[in-house]
Amino acid sequence: MVASLDDFPPIIKKREIVANFFSNISIPWFVTIGYLTIILLIPMTALILKSSTLGFGKFWEVATSDVAISAYQVTFITALAAGAINGVMGTLLAWVLVRYEFPGRKIFDAIIDVPFALPTAVAGLVLATVYSPSGWIGRFFTPFGIKIAFSQLGVFVAMLFISLPFIVRTLQPVLQELEQEIEEAAWALGATDWQTFRLVIFPPLIPPILTGVALGFSRAVGEYGSIVVIASNIPFQDLIAPVLVFQRLEEYDYVGATVIGAVLLLISLILLFVINFLQQWGRRYAKD
């Protein structure tokens, strides 16, 4: 008679369960989990643990200091404005690149990816050169007293630059999958162009637009390289939170850098959940 697992002592049962568990796990699983742990989880956990040793009172004092609050406001208000503008302009660009054929279309489509490929410091240098008071574009605003580079407006331009591809690239696949026969059917039923856009075309675009805006917003919030070049980085003017972290490190204020970094990490995690929710919503909408 063959003994069952229940006939063995508890310690043998536990060993059998553990052995079965690891036998069902492949090497790629260990590689994936190990890589994510080393590259992502350990650094984030270290930052959280470091900030937790300060005590809530000290953490709150540093996180809500006047300079930090001003940096948060500049960062998030400017990133939100850039995301909103790019939500509109990125939608138009994606529509034109997908629906229209014109000379140089592939070149313009490739240019969209320039912010991905260009080093952020180089992007900041280019933007500062173009939008400075004597630059190609900035000189036209100087007579009106409008200063773009080395101001919060320069931060806005940099955020527009680095976040635009996220909206365009998120929308393009959705636009390519839209069936134009549905639009033609709406026209055949007497719908106007505006009614066709509002009732047929636009609803499927809402999830990818929101996803693209959220991705662009999160990218703009974390931008450092281009903004540190084009902005004056003066507190209470155009200083953003990532640059403030670097300034604290330069001053050997590791406590301040850790606290502000932890706040940005928390906000980034919240944005990540929002983006995942929007992506799942978009997939459910596409299935329906």
Q: Which amino acid makes up residue 238?
A: D
Positive or negative, the CA dihedral 162, 175, 94, 282 is negative
pLDDT value for 1: 47
Asked if residue 164 lies in contact with residue 90, where contact means CB atoms within 8 angstroms, the answer is yes
CATH class of the domain at 46-119+157-286: mainly alpha
Asked if residue 68 lies in contact with residue 260, where contact means CB atoms within 8 angstroms, the answer is yes
Q: Where are the domains of the chain?
A: 46-119+157-286
In order of 12, 17, 30, 126, 186, the CA distances from 23 in angstroms are: 16, 10, 12, 55, 57
In order of 110, 127, 264, the CA distances from 226 in angstroms are: 21, 8, 18
- Quick one: three-class SS letters along the chain? CCCCHHHCCHHHHHHHHHHHHHHCCCHHHHHHHHHHHHHHHHHHHHHHHHHHCCCHHHHHHHHCCHHHHHHHHHHHHHHHHHHHHHHHHHHHHHHHHHHCCCCCHHHHHHHCCHHHHCCHHHHHHHHHHHHCCCCCCHHHHHHHCCCCCCCHHHHHHHHHHHHHHHHHHHHHHHHHHCCHHHHHHHHHCCCCHHHHHHHHHHHHHHHHHHHHHHHHHHHHHCCCCCHHHHCCCCCCCCCCHHHHHHHHHHCCCHHHHHHHHHHHHHHHHHHHHHHHHHHHHHHHHHHC
Contacts 24+ apart (CB under 8 A), 95-99: 95/171, 95/175, 97/168, 97/172, 98/172, 98/175, 98/176, 99/175
Asked if residue 126 lies in contact with residue 173, where contact means CB atoms within 8 angstroms, the answer is no
pLDDT value for 157: 96
Task: Please state the pTM of the whole predicted model.
Answer: 0.82
Whole-angstrom Cα distance, residue 97 to residue 120? Answer: 25
Interval 192-211: pLDDT, tens: 888 888 888 888 888 889 88
Residues of the chain with pLDDT under 70: 1-26, 282-283, 285-288
